[in-house]
Amino acid sequence: MITCGTVTVATRADLASCPGWQRAFSHGRKDWRYYEIVEDTLHQDFEFRYLVLHDDAIQPFFVLDQDLTAGAGKVLRSIVNGVRRVWPRFLKMRTLMVGCSAGEGHLAAEGVGDELAGALLQVARQSKAGLVVMKEFPSRYRAALANFLRLGFTRVPSMPMTRLNIEYASFDDYVAKKLSKPTRKSLRRKLRAAERAHPPIELQVVNDVTEFVDEIYPLYLAVFARSNLHFEKLTKEFFCAIGQRMPDKVQFFIWRQAGKAVAFSLCMVHGDAIYDEYLGLDYAVALDLHLYFYTLRDIIDWAIARGIKWYVSSALNYDPKLHLRCDLAPLDLYVAHTSPLVNAFIKRLLPWLEPTRSEPLLQRFPNFSEVWG
């Protein structure tokens, strides 16, 4: 361990002597086990570390080389790519990110925001990182993280998650009571296409997907390849480990046709909510059978039958979520450079780089104003 100001920087090995680690994030679905799984299975150039704060609160972070234009629109990326022909590192920076490399970030405990804000720039300099980012923290943390803004950080939105209240008797009941007549008609037509499929589609629900990982992983890669925004790329080891090490939180839904997996979803259950984390589809049949909507129907029916009240989905694919009357669940980025001069430039640049600018559909959601707050 290395002491840095008021906090201590620890490695994974050091956590064995930190009594607070195996209580970390127990208030959420992605507890300390999830962070260990991510570190063990994501084969990317992330350097994982941990900040030990007061009362043994432990805040994970990681260091990477970050492309600041990753979420920008096509026009700006095209301009930047032109500059990079002569300056390859333009708008690429070694970055310290606080949070989770595979999902949204959370504070380790109440009252640690000010301690983090006071220490992070020093920790970044020690890590030879010029940029500091609080990665994708839900908007409910804005009051707890207010001191970051006073210390020179800039808050901009990341791509929001979505949430849907599912306190209905069934998915059909939700459709009848919540959706507009044109959307009901369109959705029912799409569901009939899958229901009439021959051979019929069958659902399998398991905690541990190890036995089937060779079937589902290509489906995940197919969806990953079609996305315009990439950050983490999951591995087969991740899908196996999360079911084995977090069976109390994880459900895998696998849809099969004639025994062949044609879709799957990794979901996590916590409290009164189900979180639809990662989707995989066989695009040879997925579009004709409207499998996105078919999988959604089955997951929501499964959740309603177990008394779950909220369906929460990860970012992107906003068009169907808009028509299904989902609300946005905003996520924030807090960004600062260790150099005051560069930070002044970053503050002016960030509004042009933040990812929501490239998704005009977001403005049609009724609670879009919450994205910026």
Segment holding 100, helix H or strand E: none
- Cα–Cα distances (Å) from 53 to 20, 114, 123, 166, 364, in that order, read 10, 11, 13, 38, 41
- What angle separates helix 213-226 from helix 236-245, to the nearest 10 degrees? 120
**Beta-strand pair 154-165/260-270:** unpaired
Cβ atoms within 10 Å, residue 248: 11
**CA atoms of 161 and 329, how far apart (whole Å):** 5
Q: 336 exposed, middle or buried (CB, 10 Å; 0-12, 13-18, 19+)?
A: buried
- Mean pLDDT, the chain, rounded, equals 92
Whether the Cβ atoms of residue 281 and residue 257 lie closer than 8 Å to each other: no
* % of the chain exceeding 70 in pLDDT: 92
Terminal-to-terminal C-alpha distance of the chain? 38
Which pLDDT tens digit goes with each residue over 10-45? 999 999 888 889 999 998 999 999 999 999 999 888
Residue type, 70: A
What is the greatest pairwise CA distance in the chain?
Answer: 65
Q: Token pair of 322, please?
A: 């808009």
What are the DSSP E strand ranges found in 54-153? 58-67, 92-98, 131-138
Confidence of residue 68 (pLDDT cuts 50, 70, 90): low
Beta-bridge mates of residue 61: 49, 98
Which pLDDT tens digit goes with each residue over 95-131? 999 999 999 999 998 889 999 998 999 999 999 999 9
Overall average pLDDT of the 324-347 stretch:
96
Tell me if residue 249 falls in helix, strand or coil. Answer: coil
Beta-bridge mates of residue 63: 47, 96
What is the DSSP-derived secondary structure letter of residue 42?
Answer: -
Is pLDDT above 90 for 321? yes
Q: Token pair of 26, please?
A: 């127990």
Confidence of residue 86 (pLDDT cuts 50, 70, 90): low
Cβ atoms within 10 Å, residue 164: 19
Q: Is the dihedral of CA 41, 278, 265, 371 positive or negative?
A: positive
Structure confidence at residue 2 (pLDDT): 62
* % of the chain exceeding 90 in pLDDT: 80
**CA atoms of 276 and 299, how far apart (whole Å):** 9
Structure confidence at residue 364 (pLDDT): 97
- Cα–Cα distances (Å) from 357 to 71, 277, 322, 347, 349, in that order, read 9, 23, 17, 16, 13
In order of their start, the domains of the chain are: 2-160+330-372 (3.40.630), 167-308 (3.40.630.30)
